[in-house]
Chains A and B, each alone.
Chain A
Amino acid sequence: MNEKTAKSEVIVVESGRKFMPAITAILLGAFLVIGVGFAHSDTIHNAAHDSRHSFAFPCH
């Protein structure tokens, strides 16, 4: 393994350390927002009804 390969591996590991938690958080956050604000299930819609209107999500 030459020095260049070692360096690029360090960069990959470092960027993975930075991006993986951020991407996980963004995906989980989007899942929550879509679940509460967009899910077509009647029960979720009814439960989150006033919240959807107040946050101006497209509703009904």
Chain B
Amino acid sequence: MFRRIFATALLAGFFAGLGISVVHEFTTTPIILHAEQFEGQPAADGQKQSAYKNPLLILAHGKSGGDAKDEHEAWGPADGWERTFSTTLANILLGIGFSLILVACYSLSTGTIDGRVGVIWGMAGFGVISLAPALGLPPEVPGALAAELAPRQGWWVLCVAATAAGLWLLVFRKGAVWVIAGIVLMALPHIIGAPQPARIGGNVPPEIAGHFAAASMVTAAIFWAMLGWLSGTFWQWFEERS
């Protein structure tokens, strides 16, 4: 079982991560690069500028940023092939990470898993990991104003855990009580509310921010559909071979 889970997850995660890297290269990455052109500029409203003194915002942009020559700056990939390679590697690792969790669910499920069923599991992953947290914390372009990082990450984890548990109750438990409990669990993080910034109005034009939010969700759906189909197919393939 160990071998089947890890072989499936490695193969599916690698190919889904590689595939989504190609998609990102033509969809989200150009928008990120476009947004970064506005990020370092002084805001029209003097009040906004102070929000951009967050060192992480500058660090994030490697050698392209105005303050890039700061001695204390951590390593970052140079723009061009190095940045593309770095993003691809991150996507592959994320792909394998998500794939391990998805395939672990296959190993616990009692039904037959194939590519088609895998896509349904993938869509559940999309709902839990991408859609639900986006309601409270919409995908952000670099330069968007946001609340403190740690509370946002905490809320993200809470939202993912509650949505996953709620969806599991809705799908795998029978009875009205479980349905209500599932819905309440899924709604809970949104009733609590995600941390929001004290002020809004970053330098990046809202048209770019809006386009990025949509592109991020669309590419996430593509990623999860790919990951679901690949992992389901490999899962079945390894079953036939064992």
Contact = CB atoms under 8 A, between A and B. Distances in A.
Contact of A51 (B75, B90, B130): B90
A49 B29 CA distance: 10
A56 B134 contact: yes
Interface string A7-46: 0000000000111011111101111110111101111011
Interface string B70-92: 00011111000001001101110
Residues of B in contact with A, size category: 35 or more
B41 interface: no
B132 to A, nearest CB: 11
Interface in B108-162: 108, 130, 133-134, 137-142, 146, 149, 152-153, 156
B187 interface: no
B9 interface: yes
A59 to B, nearest CB: 7
Contacts of A51: 24, 87, 90-91, 94
B2 A60 contact: no
Contacts of A18: 1, 107-108
Contacts of A33: 94, 97-98, 101
Given A37-B94, A45-B60, A56-B139, A29 B104 contact: yes
Interface stretch (B42-50, B51-59, B171-179, B234-242): B51-59
Contacts, number: 159
Contacts of B98: 29, 33
Nearest to A50: B87
B143 to A, nearest CB: 9
A45 B107 CA distance: 32
Interface of A is mostly: helix
Contacts of B77: 46-47
A27 to B, nearest CB: 9
Given A17-B1, A54-B32, A60-B146, A36 B97 contact: yes
A36 B90 contact: yes
Interface string B1-15: 110011001000000
Interface of B: 1-2, 5-6, 9, 24, 28-29, 32, 54, 56-57, 59-60, 62, 73-77, 83, 86-87, 89-91, 93-94, 96-101, 103-105, 107-108, 130, 133-134, 137-142, 146, 149, 152-153, 156, 212, 216-217, 219-220, 223
30 contacts: A18-B1, A22-B5, A22-B105, A22-B107, A25-B5, A25-B103, A25-B107, A26-B101, A28-B97, A29-B97, A30-B97, A36-B93, A36-B94, A42-B56, A43-B74, A45-B56, A45-B74, A46-B75, A48-B86, A49-B60, A50-B24, A51-B90, A51-B94, A53-B28, A53-B32, A53-B139, A53-B141, A53-B142, A54-B139, A56-B220
